[in-house]
Amino acid sequence: MMPAHATTVLGVRKDGQVALGADGQVTIGDTIMKQNAVKIRKLADGRVLAGFAGAVSDAFTLFERFEGKLNEFNKNLLRAAVELAKDWRTDKYLRNLEALLAVCDKEYSLIIAGSGEVIEPEDGILAIGSGGSYALAAGRALFRHSAFDARGIVEEGLNIASDICIYSNRSITIETL
C-alpha cells in the first residue's frame, strides 16, 4: 500500500455505531501550515463517511470520483469502492494521486488505495496516515479494554496518536452514523 503522510484518520465500528475521525493538521515538509483542516466528509446523503490521508488536492479529486461512483452504483459502498480502486489503478491521471481513503457506512469499513486495494479490517477498526499505526493500536486497546462507544474510542485514539505523531494534532473532527 502506498504510504500517506501528514495526518491521522481512525474509524471504529462498535455496538451499531460507526465513527470516523481525523486530526486537523496540514503540513508542508516540516512546517505546520494549518491547524484546523476538516479531513472527514459525509457523502451519499449522509449515509457514507469518508476521510483521507495524503495530498489535499488529490484527496478532493478522489472524494469527487468516489461520490460519483456511489451515485452510479445506488450508494452501494462496496461496489463503489471496488470500482474506484479499479479506476485509480488503471487511469493514467488517477494513478499519480497520492492519498488513501477510509470510507464507512452502516455495513462496511474500508480502506481504498491507488494500487488497487480495497481492504476491510476484520475487527471493524481502520486507520490511515502517518499517525495511523498509533491510532490503530490505541483504538484496538480502547475497544477491548474500555467502556467507550465508537465515537469515544475514535476521539481518545486520535488524541493518543497526536501525542506520538508529529504530523497530527488534537484539532479533531469526528462524524458518526
The b-or-e profile of 108-139 (16+ CB within 10 A means b, else e) is bbbbbbbeebbbebeebbbbbbbbbebbbbbb
54 neighbors 9 (Cβ within 8 angstroms): no
3-class DSSP assignment, residue 3: coil
3-class DSSP assignment, residue 67: helix
Q: Which of 7, 27, 31, 176 is catalytic?
A: 7
Q: Does 61 qualify as catalytic in the annotation? A: no
Q: Find where cell 474500508 sits.
A: 110
CA dist 23 to 15, 75, 77, 165, Å?
A: 24, 27, 24, 11
3-class DSSP assignment, residue 130: coil
Helices 56-72, 77-90: inter-axial angle, 10-degree rounding: 130
How many contiguous H segments (helices) and E segments (strands) does the chain have?
Answer: 4, 11
Active site residues per annotation? 7
